[in-house]
A and B are shown apart, each in its own frame.
Chain A
């Protein structure tokens, strides 16, 4: 068995080649650990739990402009509910996985100087929460007499009246950690709302870059009915497996009711999620390809150098065998050598990985690289190195001891 010291001494006689491979491993380590982290971030974001029953939901929107005037949400919804397979329907100001949302900073005390906590606002009729599949966890839902119609004309005044509010669990937790939010007051400037219930988390339409950011779930619901004049959409809950058919029928029905207007949006929530994360998916694939390419190039570099060294050292391998090295001693020599090179590369790469991360943090709002990615990257490169060196090392182990006597 070889101890590392003579292997290191021998490597010192091949500084340039050793340095180049160490550099290659360091670079691969630094980029791969950061890239893996970025991929994980994208995957986490794509995997976010929306809090609504995406699988059975469809949405459609009709334009508010047209010769026939603004369509009435109530009339439209009544018609849509008659479609077989529609279990419930509501209008809503915005939905997860869209790019438009209403947001506000709510404060726990009235006035402009109070510290605000941003949350997204969902507006809709009494049917909204059951349609989405959002549950009341504490307190209660809005009483029927709370609901008012919101139109462009009534908007300002409506918001200045005291109202009731339902907040998401995450938001309640943020505002009153460990406490009970029901009954508490919230303000936007001087407008006041009283929390009547806490609902299960529902994701905000526009997600932050991080899938784990709790503010993704800061949401409130206000008892305002909205319609196409406020660019609201209709959201329908379909019976299991009926969503495609329901969506088609809903579009046909809306077009029949409003022949001069166009249906500007029609999609299942699953489609919307897919489209919403299209960039994340593309980026994840790009990063994965980069990772694989880098690892591939590194492996090729290791195989190349190891093969060269095995060939160059054929005679000394024969001599070592003659002097009593077993095949496995030769195998282990090259494996140990590779392990030492990989370790040097990983050590150098740690510094580079942190450097790249700092640069990304400065330029691309990427969060700090969690330390766990360094050992993960290290294990990956150690394994890669061992895998890459195995072929050449096995070839070395097969060198016949007679080479010591024969080779010219």
Chain B
């Protein structure tokens, strides 16, 4: 799905040069669930912005779906983001002026799609995160957990194959975090590739593989994909959508 080879990212300001990533290499297979951990400032978010084509990198090589993305223009990147990648942010990042349904439709506005199709997809995504009853609510009227689930629905609406989540539970209390985590696991089960940055070792442990970043370099990559403990439990029993 995604392969980075010796990727470096240098942020230059007038006074300082920050090497946010140094010779960072990582391969993520289709359908994998990778948790990214590491101390604050180690380059986790930088990795996600590059992986998600939000910015270019300084050196190295990055293949997304076997396509070299280096040097792609802004329009090409936008289109790839729109079609292949879903984002989930720590701060939810819903658009405050739009209701839940309109928020979920936002990414669909940036591709050729009829209003009816847009509506259908958004409703399906909201159904999936269990928020069909909140279509006309505005983000400020929802709890943090609900907001994050709307954000996940927005990420899902476009049918992405890669979901990038930057500390998706960072702003949530434990109960809400659990709900969101279970939702992400379910999305993974349905076939999406997931890369999730987290501070929480417990959540990281639920991924198939952990990547630890220190000082802009990947360390402690467990090459052996572990079996997902949560997955085994849940596939055995009934799947009920989490509510927060």
Contacts and interface: CB of A to CB of B under 8 A. Distances in A.
Interface in B56-99: 74-75, 78-79, 81-83, 87, 89, 93, 95-99
Given A6-B109, A13-B97, A323-B81, A404 B87 contact: yes
Nearest to B115: A3
A9 B98 contact: yes
B221 interface: no
B229 to A, nearest CB: 29
Contacts of A323: 81-82, 87, 106-107, 110, 154, 158
A405 B54 contact: yes
Given A324-B158, A405-B89, A329 B55 contact: no
Interface in A307-322: 315-316, 319-322
A376 interface: no
A321 B95 CA distance: 12
A400 B52 CA distance: 13
A260 B138 CA distance: 93
A402 B110 contact: no
Nearest to A6: B102
Contacts of B166: 405
A324 B48 contact: no
Interface size class of A (residues with CB under 8 A): 20 to 34
Contacts of B96: 13, 316
Interface string B38-59: 0000000100110010110000
A363 interface: no
Interface in A1-20: 1-3, 6, 9-10, 13-14
Contacts of A2: 109
B120 interface: no
B79 A319 contact: no
A405 to B, nearest CB: 5
A64 to B, nearest CB: 81
B74 A406 contact: no
B54 A401 contact: yes
A10 B97 contact: yes
Given A9-B99, A319-B95, A324 B107 contact: yes
A325 interface: yes
A3 B89 contact: no
B105 interface: yes
B111 A400 contact: no
A60 to B, nearest CB: 74
A49 interface: no
B83 to A, nearest CB: 7
A375 to B, nearest CB: 30
A326 B54 contact: no
A393 to B, nearest CB: 16
A169 interface: no
A324 B55 CA distance: 13
A327 B74 CA distance: 8
Interface string B102-125: 100111011100010000000000
A14 B49 contact: no
Most buried by B among A13, A14, A402: A402
Most buried by B among A320, A322, A324, A400: A324
Contacts of A326: 74-75, 78-79, 110
Given A321-B78, A322-B52, A10 B110 contact: no
Interface in A52-87: none
B14 to A, nearest CB: 18
A325 B110 contact: yes
Contacts of A401: 54-55, 81
Interface in A383-408: 400-402, 404-406
Contact of A14 (B82, B97, B105, B138): B97
A315 B89 CA distance: 12
Contacts of A316: 93, 95-97
A335 to B, nearest CB: 15
B161 to A, nearest CB: 14
Nearest to A13: B97
A3 B111 CA distance: 12
Given A405-B48, A405-B166, A324 B82 contact: yes
B102 A9 contact: yes
Interface in B129-154: 138, 154
A316 to B, nearest CB: 5
B49 A402 contact: yes
Contacts of B102: 6, 9
Most buried by A among B54, B81, B105: B54
A322 B81 contact: yes
Contacts of B87: 322-323, 404-405
Interface string B7-43: 0000000000000000000000000000000000000
A14 B158 CA distance: 28
A401 B49 CA distance: 9
Most buried by A among B75, B79, B93, B166: B93
16 contacts: A1-B109, A6-B109, A322-B81, A323-B81, A324-B79, A324-B158, A326-B110, A327-B75, A402-B49, A404-B89, A405-B49, A405-B54, A405-B87, A405-B89, A405-B166, A406-B45
Given A324-B78, A324-B82, A402-B55, 10 more contacts: A1-B110, A9-B98, A10-B98, A316-B93, A319-B95, A320-B95, A323-B87, A324-B79, A329-B78, A405-B87
Q: Closest 5 interchain pairs by CB?
A: A324-B82, A10-B97, A323-B107, A324-B110, A13-B97
